[in-house]
Amino acid sequence: MANRFKGEIETATGHKMVLDYNALAELESIAGKRAQEVLESLDDGSVSLTDLRAFYLACLRRHHPDLSVFDAGDIVSEDPEAWVRVVAAASPDAPKEVSPGNAKARQKKAG
């Protein structure tokens, strides 16, 4: 069972993903860019397919060190929103009801 308090989740395929310092360092190694760049692109929806797959692989490595990039791609295909859950698990103080696409609309000013 995944431990949400450690930034860990279980994917729809039964694999565990962990977003911690080691995963971020692994992401930089796999993607060849700063982890912050990839995280920002996830957040704003501009993430490339290659970077998304690299993010999954980096987060999977702790519990599944033998997975390939193709295995990570298969997991993305089966559970494309796992990245949202693992980021939320790594940020337990973040509001749980907010995820991509469901931010509350601003109230119109009375005029």
Q: 72-85 b/e with 16+ CB inside 10 Å = b?
A: bbbbbeebeebbbb
How high is the pLDDT of residue 7? Answer: 85
DSSP state, residue 36: H
Helices (H), the chain: 21-31, 35-44, 49-60, 69-78, 82-90
Instruction: List the domain boundaries for the chain.
Output: 4-90
**pLDDT tens for the chain, residues 1 to 111:** 666 557 899 999 999 999 999 999 999 999 999 999 999 999 999 999 999 999 999 999 999 999 999 999 999 999 999 999 999 999 866 555 445 554 445 555 565
